[in-house]
Structure 1
């Protein structure tokens, strides 16, 4: 198993993290520091955060991290056995969505927000491959707050690629990444401050 770590990337140009079975682009400073600070503070109070509930081995588990699901009215989303009803877009989230649409050339109709209070909270290995997600559309991930280590792991050869996601950074996961790779937000005892992650997605809506 090969492990590749990207650390302290300072270029304004996107860095290509993956070389096969999909493409992941990392923008170290998509937002300037002051704008990142504003967005972080605003999101803490402008969306309705709640503990996440997931079904594992038939049991309902309440997570310590908080989540918010925002999107167009018909963008219901089911993961880990639980269906999410969307909150309405805030002014700041709509502005972020439009910026990302210009950057990626794709449209988004929803956003999943996760609030990690410290390094004790993370996300295990998984793929964003739920049936509601448009598999032809990239997922655009914004990080605000604490610097955290994020990793990809190939499903077949188990190669891992890691990067430290900085305050105001953007990670774009292009298809078919979710088919061939898993990803994880790694836990750590060294991080004591919060982080907000926003993943802008395209949901397939059905009438």
Structure 2
């Protein structure tokens, strides 16, 4: 399938369901699941510090602060070299970090939020690659009633750019459906 533009007011979003060919996506999923030092990060939500409802690994060239915690980066794994190069070439962007999230089953989730840390700049480019089980991705207007959902498939690419983070929140909700594990890679540029 071809790259699709998601039409939402105040947002710049594209989705490409088969950005990675299925066999390549499966190989990358296996390499990252077995090879990354997965951790349960502590995050602060509405003034409360708790364990994140998923496993994560911060990878890159710079530290990053989000949700009240400073994350020191792990080195780039060889398995991500080609993916990073291709993203940078296709999106005309330089990525110096990636947050890898491992959703072990339908109980693991990501609550509504926006990537609005000052270190990302006023209009960050976030390139999100999904590997493994398909999960529903939700967008909700910060002010207003608009909402949108899309199923992120194995090997897909979702790009959020421009004013998207100013106007929209996003989440990966918990699901009662039986789903297998999923890895999500969110490439970004942290400003020094």
TM-score range, shorter chain: over 0.9
Equivalents in 2 of 1:108, 1:128: separation in Å? 15
Equivalents in 2 of 1:114, 1:101: separation in Å? 20
TM-score normalised by the chain length of structure 2: 0.95
Deviation at residue 58 of structure 1 after TM alignment: 4.1
TM-score normalised by the chain length of structure 1: 0.89
Report the count of equivalent residues.
192
Q: What are the superposed Cα offsets for residues 46-95 of structure 1, whole Å, 9 maximum, x if unpaired?
A: 221100101235443113411000001xx111111010000111112122
- Matching residue of 1:177: 164
Asked if 2 retains the 8 angstrom alpha-carbon contact of 1:18 and 1:161, the reply is: no
RMSD: 1.3
* Selected match of 1:162 from 145, 149, 171: 149
Aligned ranges 1:31-180 → 2 under 5 Å: 31-72=20-61, 75-180=62-167
Equivalents in 2 of 1:128, 1:64: separation in Å? 18
Equivalents in 2 of 1:46, 1:140: separation in Å? 21
Structure 1 runs, 4 residues or longer, greater than 3 Å off: 56-59
Equivalents in 2 of 1:64, 1:108: separation in Å? 26
* Deviates further, 151-160 or 31-40: 151-160
* Deviates further, 142-151 or 62-71: 62-71
State the secondary structure of the residue aligned to 1:103. helix
Give 5+ residue unaligned stretches, structure 2.
none
State the secondary structure of the residue aligned to 1:89. coil
Deviation at residue 20 of structure 1 after TM alignment: 2.1
**Relative to structure 1, is the Cα distance of residues 157 and 57 closer, same or farther in structure 2, using a 3 angstrom cutoff?**
closer
Asked if 2 retains the 8 angstrom alpha-carbon contact of 1:17 and 1:161, the reply is: no
State the secondary structure of the residue aligned to 1:149. strand
Equivalents in 1 of 2:47, 2:21: separation in Å? 44
Equivalents in 1 of 2:16, 2:151: separation in Å? 11
Give 5+ residue unaligned stretches, structure 1.
1-11
Q: What are the superposed Cα offsets for residues 80-125 of structure 1, whole Å, 9 maximum, x if unpaired?
A: 1010000111112122111111111111100001001111111111
Equivalents in 1 of 2:25, 2:110: separation in Å? 23
